[in-house]
């Protein structure tokens, strides 16, 4: 399939999904509100400590505020299709009709994902502003890092999206794939910089986060935007992102081929 055709399909999917997503405005607003608790909790915990005893691991009170406010934005851009949704499709047999379409179902999911992000972006920005007035952040924005943020964020999203998609495909083989998703999510809490900026974690965890894809999914874009990454490190990080995305694409092709061959709708 040539690029032009694919772009046309994306455009079509995007408009359709935009309409679908707009139907669920209230649900989306509530869903986003529920996402805001977590960064506020961790931000409060860390700023309580910095107010007691000064900077922690190079992060001042304002740095922590900036970190978690930025984290919210990055987390929003990194939203994926949950692996549960894929599992649901496999179990309910919805995959059958997706497989009949002459296009890989992953494209629909990416287009729908992007539509959701755009619709919900104003809510996120509003909440970031509100948080910024409650917890004054110190920003040290640099033009190059803002520009570099765009490709890095795109890569980060794709890495996270693909890892969740591949994880969801486990449902082809097992009925309780959910437990594996949960392990992955817990790993995300520790390794993507949710619980604390990675610089505050013990060295072995930091190394694990950097070798595995986790750091490159969320923590890296956050630190880049905050100006905590030097240009050389940014380049190295981008290299890691390219490597992981490549690995995931290969893995996806293998798993997808094997999975689809295995898939048989119940009752077939």
40 binding another protein? (CB under 8 A): yes
Spacing of C-alpha 208 from chain mean position = 18
- Nearest approach in angstroms of CB 78 to another protein is 18
Q: Is 52 in the site for another protein (CB under 8 A)?
A: yes
- Does 97 contact another protein by CB under 8 A? no
Regarding 41 and contact with another protein (CB under 8 A), the answer is yes
Q: How far is the CB of 101 from another protein (least distance, A)?
A: 31
CA separation, residue 131 to residues 37, 47, 69, 125, 127 (Å): 11, 13, 7, 10, 6
CA distances from 256 to 12, 18, 173 (A): 24, 27, 12
Expressed in percent and rounded to 5, the helix, strand and coil fractions of the chain are 80, 0, 20
Under 8 Å between Cβ of 188 and 167: no
Residue 180 or 256: the one with the smaller Cβ distance to another protein is 180
Tell me if 53 contacts another protein by CB under 8 A: yes
Residue choice 201, 218, 219, 240 for contact with another protein (CB under 8 A): 201
Residue 76 tokens read as 């929003």
Residue 35 within binding range of another protein, rule CB under 8 A:
yes
Write out the H or E segment, with its range, that includes residue 168.
helix 143-169
Supply angle C-alpha 252, 256, 262, rounded to 5. Answer: 150
User: What six digits make up the tokens of 42?
Assistant: 């961790």
Binds another protein (CB under 8 A): choice among 6, 20, 30, 254: 30
Instruction: Return the structure tokens found at 58.
Output: 């190079």
Contact region with another protein (CB under 8 A), list: 50-58, 139-147, 164-172, 258-266: 50-58
Q: Which of 2, 3, 23, 26 binds another protein (CB under 8 A)?
A: 26
Q: How far is the CB of 217 from another protein (least distance, A)?
A: 18
Residues near another protein, by CB under 8 A = 26-27, 30-31, 33-35, 37-38, 40-41, 44-45, 48-49, 52-53, 56-57, 134-135, 176, 179, 182-183, 186, 189-190, 195-196, 200-202
């Amino acid at each position: 399939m040539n690029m032009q055709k694919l772009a046309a399909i994306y455009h079509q999917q995007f408009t359709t999904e935009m309409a679908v997503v707009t139907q669920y405005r209230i649900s989306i607003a509530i869903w986003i509100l529920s996402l805001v608790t977590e960064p506020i909790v961790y931000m409060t915990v860390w700023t309580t400590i910095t107010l007691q005893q000064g900077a922690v691991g190079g992060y001042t009170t304002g740095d922590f505020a900036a970190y978690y406010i930025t984290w919210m934005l990055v987390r929003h851009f990194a939203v994926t299709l949950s692996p549960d949704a894929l599992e649901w499709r496999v179990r309910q047999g919805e995959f059958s009709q997706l497989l009949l379409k002459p296009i890989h179902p992953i494209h629909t999911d990416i287009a729908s994902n992007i539509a959701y992000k755009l619709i919900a972006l104003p809510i996120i920005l509003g909440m970031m502003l509100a948080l910024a007035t409650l917890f004054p952040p110190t920003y040290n924005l640099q033009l190059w890092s803002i520009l570099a943020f765009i490709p890095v964020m795109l890569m980060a999203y794709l890495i996270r999206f693909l890892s969740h998609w591949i994880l969801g495909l486990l449902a082809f083989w097992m009925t309780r794939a959910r437990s594996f998703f949960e392990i992955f999510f817990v790993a995300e809490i520790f390794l993507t910089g949710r619980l604390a900026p990675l610089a505050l974690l013990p060295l072995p965890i930091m190394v694990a986060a950097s070798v595995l894809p986790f750091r490159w999914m969320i923590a890296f874009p956050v630190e880049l935007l905050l100006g905590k990454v030097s240009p050389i490190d940014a380049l190295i990080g981008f290299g890691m992102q390219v490597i992981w995305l490549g690995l995931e694409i290969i893995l996806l092709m293998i798993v997808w081929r094997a999975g689809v061959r295995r898939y048989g709708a119940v009752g077939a």
